[in-house]
Structure 1
Amino acid sequence: MLTKYSPGVIICLRKLSICLGFVFLAFSGFSQEFLFKRNRQKQSIPFKCIKNLMVIPVYVNGKGPFDFVLDTGVGPMIITDPSIIDSLNFSMLRKIKVSGLGIETVEAYVSQSLDVKVGSAAIERIPTAILKEDLFNLSGHLGLKIYGLLGYSFFNSFIVDVRYSENRLIIYEHDAKIKYRGKKIPIQIDNQKPYIMANIELPDSGTVAARFLMDTGASHALSLEMFNGGEFPLPEKNIKANLGMSLSGQIKGSVGRLSKINLGGYLFKDVVAGFPDFKTIADKIDLSKRNGNLGADLLRKFNIQFNYQEGFIYVKPNSLRKTPFEYDMVGMVIYLDQNDYKRLIIGEIDENSPAEKAGLCPYDEIIGVNFKAVETYSLNDLNELFKSKADRSVIFEIYRDKQVFYKVVRLEKRI
């Protein structure tokens, strides 16, 4: 629900590629919590930041560690690779529905028998949704084997201090002595997910207040989904693009720049924002409680302390705050082949993009970039290269139809 707001406040955002915030589960919540043993009050846990997503080590039923995405955009834990669980009998588990964008609802299974440990904190019988197969292909898009997503149960159990600038988080018991840093901003926990108000400036509409899902599991900066019961007005300069991944694959829409956004008094300008196809998402998602999705490309510009139980966060800008928002200057999706996670494949290509102009095609295999074997790069490295500098040339070595050849792509600032 968007309301007219007096001029003044604003904030910022950036790239779009993996979006897990569109996952919705028909799941009944439980009150179990993670607990420290032996009166411990806090712990520091390192995380890998890949395409803006936090990846942490998790133990399941005493096995592991397994890499999970730490995701405020999901309620119950989601396991995307059931091979990590011994003797799992799907016939004995209750089925639930998981809806994605662009396909029919798919089935998952509910378990309340798993024990999970993160660092020294453990939880018994954590509410879990188990997918029979990895519909996300998170591993292929992140370049690292991912086994699941961890959300509400973890964030509700502690005060969670996310230090994006240090690639680590610190978790505190709620009765621990903690020094809050930065500015306090209220949040609301609704259906096990955190929501926050921000003020944005729209073409021909002035400054309006909007409600956003805070989604550490979305690698973009901002997704604008509903305005006054319909679609958001597009900026004058925009491009058709693949906005991210859901259960169904690519999310279609447009990308443009939002002139201003203000989050708790912190102002960001010229923010890259996605505008998903309204009819597609309105048919799949209940948009009555939010106007959009605030992702990690914006959130990572702060160090954030989450307190779900008392309904607030503290935010303090970090060294990433002044990094400009840039969008992919190649115009294609790349992912690792799901069979062995070694072959780098081109997915969908944006219309009239530099990749299309250079003659690259879906299902091409990339075997080298700038005369280096593709194995010398991480997907994160390539992601940064593809939005690094307009007019830079990137040379791709391509394998197609049993032939090897080169294609030169000139990076283009498309918005």
Structure 2
Amino acid sequence: MKIVFFSIKKLLTLILVFFCFSNLSFSQNKFVIQNKNQSDRVKFKLINNLIIIPVEVNGVSLSFLLDTGVSKPIIFNFLNVSDTLKIKDTETIFLRGLGEGESVEALKSKNNVFKIGEAIKLNQDLYAVYDSNLNFAPRLGFPVHGIIGFDLFRDLVVEINYSKKVIKLTAPEKYRYKKCKKCERLNLEFYNSKPYINAEVTMNRRKIPVKLLIDSGGSDSLWLFEDDSLGIESSNKYFYDFLGHGLSGSVYGKRSKVRSFSLKSFQLNKVNVSFPDSTFILFARKHKSRNGSLSGNILKRFNVIFDYRNAIITLTKNHYFNEKFQYNKSGIELAHDGFRLVREKDNLVSNDNGLGDSQEKGTKIIIDPQYKLSLKPAYAIVELRKNSPAEKAGLLKGDIILSINNRNSYQFTLQELIHMFYGEAGKRIKLKIERDKSTFTFQFQLENLFQ
């Protein structure tokens, strides 16, 4: 038998190497923050109540929707992104979500590297969806390449500061709660890797306890599933509308108001609520005790701490809390519809310093008007509510908006345009549109349907 002697120094070195290797192997299966504080801040964009964060996938910088309602990351391959990402180890599966359409074909890929700020995961599964209709970018006016949710929230404590538009990611073992007199902590429940919360709504003169999916990937306020036995039903004041676009297609239903919505001591009044038609939410209702969803237009009114490991959510009111709940009073849903060439005046400015043949001293400004062609964003009507002010005025789906209230539409972002339809009832809207290569002008007034 051969006996090998180790010095103390060599033994410590071997132990350190073994520890590092073991820690690396373990960390491949979760997000780990690569700094000594094990914490990092990442700025995000808040668009239509949705959080868009920068995510690096296999070395490629992309934009993802941060969605508590999804289990595994999804890549939308409408721009052949997966070719650039060089995804591998794939198998074909079918995904099902909201909407009345069929399941969506996707490729499941393993061993992808995800990086968010300084948080990295070395073998992340993802789903690449090739359906060209699943493209959120036109509806948001901003490129969105995918969705991420449960894996990030499971591995790290995620603080969302809607006021400053920053998320803070912290390793759970390093996170320390601060004393908070003005916050509320509520328990989370999980079903199929999705978080649920208990709340209360006041409707039809009744206080009703509800269990809601926390859905940061939805821009609405509150969705409720109608249930006569529980008293969850719309009032007489409602209108039928397009509610959103799910993984399996569009969702339609009633829009109304509830008298109040409460999360422990926090109460919001005259809250927007949607009641999706049952045909569009068959998949969502598999969780029998679920009564609906709590989405971005309520979540943004708080700064939120998600602690999945301890099944706790912490809410603190922010400056959005008292913002009035508005809704689209025009009946128009817009989307980005590519680009168009626009002829613009280009004023060329030249200076004459008076040192030439001129008898007058000083500077002369000579404006030489010329024209240039520029590519500008185009916006199209993609949904039009029946009997809405816009439909009654004669507008149609597919119309391209050229100007609004005598200002060129390309001078606005998509969100700025849409915001104009959320104005006060009675506000006059004048739209110049293009239809079949002809231009038309329409006028209507925003209408309050809840008076």
The answer to whether TM tops 0.5 is yes
Whether the 8 Å CA contact 1:137–1:338 is kept in 2: the answer is no
Structure 1 residues 287, 354: closer, same or farther in 2, change over 3 A? farther
TM-score by length of 1: 0.87
Q: Which amino acid letter does the alignment assign opposite residue 434 of structure 2?
A: Y
Deviation at 1:380, TM superposition (A): 1.4
1:15 match: none
Task: Specify whether residues 109 and 39 from structure 1 end up closer, same or farther in structure 2 by C-alpha distance, changes over 3 A only.
Answer: same
1:390 aligned residue: 425
What CA distance in whole angstroms lies between the structure 2 residues aligned with 1:338 and 1:102?
Answer: 27
- The Cα offsets for residues 307-362 of structure 1, whole Å up to 9 and x where unpaired, read as 01100011001011111111111112111126999321101211111111211100
Instruction: Decide which of 397, 403, 426 is 1:362's aligned counterpart.
Output: 397
Whether 1:343 and 2:390 are equivalent positions in the alignment is: no
User: Partners in 2 of 1:353 and 1:87 — Cα distance?
Assistant: 44
Tell me the CA shift for residue 284 of structure 1: 6.4
Deviation string for 1:121-145 (max 9, x for gaps)? 1111112111013432200100011
Three-state SS of the structure 1 residue aligned to 2:288 is helix
Cα distance in 2 for residues equivalent to 1:35 and 1:298? 30
Q: Report what 2:155 is aligned to.
A: 157
User: SS of 1:259's equivalent?
Assistant: strand
Q: Given that residues 226 and 287 in structure 1 are in contact (C-alpha distance below 8 angstroms), is that contact kept between their aligned partners in structure 2?
A: no
Deviation, 1:247, is 2.8
Query: What are the equivalent positions in structure 2 for 1:244-283 lying under 5 Å apart?
Result: 244-282=244-282
Q: Structure 1 vs Structure 2: percent identity of aligned residues?
A: 28
> Partner residue of 2:33?
36
Which structure 1 residue ranges, 4+ long, deviate > 4 Å from structure 2? 87-92, 228-231, 338-341
Q: Whole-Å Cα distance in 2 between the matches of residues 91 and 177 of structure 1?
A: 35
Distance 1:362 1:248, change over 3 A: farther
Q: Is the 8 A contact 2:66 2:148 kept in 1?
A: yes
Question: Partner of 2:112: helix, strand, or coil?
Answer: coil
| Unmatched 5+ stretches in structure 1 | 1-29
Q: Measure the CA separation in 2 of the matches of 1:208 and 1:230.
A: 8
What residue in structure 2 maps to residue 327 of structure 1? 327
Post-superposition CA distance 1:214-236 (Å, at most 9, x none): 01100000001142679931112
Correspondence for 1:201: 202
Deviates more, 1:92-101 or 1:309-318: 92-101
Q: Higher mean Cα deviation, 376-385 or 45-54?
A: 376-385
Distance 1:167 1:36, change over 3 A: same
CA contact under 8 A between 1:135 and 1:247: conserved in structure 2? no
1:45 pairs with 2:45: no
- Decide whether the 8 Å contact of 2:57 with 2:85 is kept in 1: no
Alignment of 1:190 with 2:187, yes or no, is no
3-state SS of the aligned residue for 2:234? coil
Higher relative contact order (CA 8 A, sep 6+): 1
Other-structure match for 2:72: 76
Pick aligned residue for 2:52 from 28, 51, 55: 55
Which of 428, 442, 448 is 1:407 aligned to?
A: 442
Q: 1:113·1:124 contact (CA, 8 Å) conserved in 2?
A: yes
Partner of 1:121: 119
Provide the residue aligned with 1:93 in structure 2: 90
Matched residues, number? 384
Hey, what's the Cα distance between the residues in 2 that align with 1:31 and 1:276?
40
What SS does structure 2 have at the residue aligned with 1:360? Answer: coil
1:159 Cα deviation after fit: 1.0
Q: Who wins on radius of gyration, i.e. which is larger?
A: 2
State the distance in 1 between where 2:87 and 2:131 align. 12
Q: Give the stretch that moved more between structures: 364-373 or 212-221.
A: 364-373
Cα distance, 1:406 vs structure 2:
1.6
**What is the letter of the counterpart of residue 57 of structure 2?**
V
The structure-2 alpha-carbon separation of the partners of 1:344 and 1:197, relative to structure 1 and needing over 3 Å to count, comes to same
Contact persistence 2:379–2:414 (CA under 8 A):
no
**Partner residue in 2 for 1:215:** 215
Opposite residue 389 of structure 1, the aligned amino acid is E
Structure 1 counterpart of 2:186, one-letter code:
I
Paired with 2:379 and 2:238, the residues of 1 have a C-alpha distance of 29
Partner Cα distance (1:363, 1:230) in 2: 41
Specify every segment of 5 or more residues in structure 2 that has no aligned partner in the other structure, as ranges. Answer: 1-26, 341-375
